[in-house]
Amino acid sequence: MVSCSTVAILSALLGLILLRKYRESRWGYFKCKKSLQGKVFLVTGANSGIGKETVRELARRDACVIMACRSMSSALSAIEDIRRTVQEGTLIPKQLDLASFDSIRAFSNSVIRDFPKINVLINNAGVYVCSKEARVTTDGYELHFGVNHLGHFLLTNLLFDKLCESQPSRVVTVSSLLLQSGKIDLENLNCERETPESLAEMRSNQKYCNSKLANLLFTRELAKRTTTVDVTALSVCPGFSYTNLFRETPRSWYQYILFAPIVYFYMRSANQGAQTVLLCAASDEIGKQHSGQLFRDCKVYKPKLRFPCSSATQSKLWDISTEMVGLRMK
């Protein structure tokens, strides 16, 4: 005979499972299976996490995908893994280090040379480093700002003419809900001034939040500057997903135990996190009228910014970024 305590435990477990399923139903899912044959997608950070799952689903729809990865060996491992489940599509690995402007320029030149068109650029790669020590890119910029914002800013600008030649085209930039806690200090974008506030921000990793806000402002400004061409700029919050983004964050055994319930109830799989990215990259329902918007859970999301930014701030950020990466002002 089953005891009352056993029934209670089983009922509680069933309730938890149903609650998880309910949460999943609200995340949204890109259901369209329409063929993407003949279209070329470029995905940064394509070797793991949301990037790899985005590549997997695009390939499943028979797309050609340029996989931009920091390591060619990791790119090839990702392709091997994808090919275990998906045989369609064309996967082309290319080396790209977003922490190096020289690497970005070399990569862009090779893409422009080798591909007649790029239909969709997906700026997915990102870094999150929790460290008391300052980390910088090859060119001397704070790592989060340098990779998450400047790297993709330069890449998009270098490929912009190719995107215009391929119009209608899209630029999809993966941000984060943490952008709502971000702030843009135009006088200290590279975190060169050390103040008590900036040191505290280093410990809480405010810099990551700032870089994700910069992603959104970049998308909005790109939309504003592309009104005369059919290039759609979109930003995506993929949701709290289980990826290796936090690979450099130290964890202890008790943290794994404490965070287990959070992982179960709130974290999405990488494939679930990729669904809104796929919607913005491939849906026929997304068009120029959505340019400049942020998407979350497969629908438009209006962020609640802790530190609101004006249109003038977003435009100035673009101009300063242009100077930082060594582009000519237009």
Q: Among all residues, which ones are annotated catalytic?
A: 208
Phi, psi of 207 (to 5 degrees): -60, -35
136 close to 143: Cβ distance less than 8 angstroms? yes
Question: Which spans in 61-175 are helix H?
Answer: 72-82, 101-114, 143-144, 152-158, 160-165
d(CA 232, CA 223): 7
d(CA 202, CA 220): 27
Around 239, how many Cα atoms within 13 Å sit in the side-chain half-sphere?
26
d(CA 181, CA 73): 36
231 close to 163: Cβ distance less than 8 angstroms? yes
Sheet holding 64-69, edge to edge: 90-95, 64-69, 40-44, 120-123, 169-174, 231-237, 294-296, 299-301
Peptide bond into 250 cis (omega under 30): no
- DSSP three-state, residue 47: coil
170 close to 121: Cβ distance less than 8 angstroms? yes
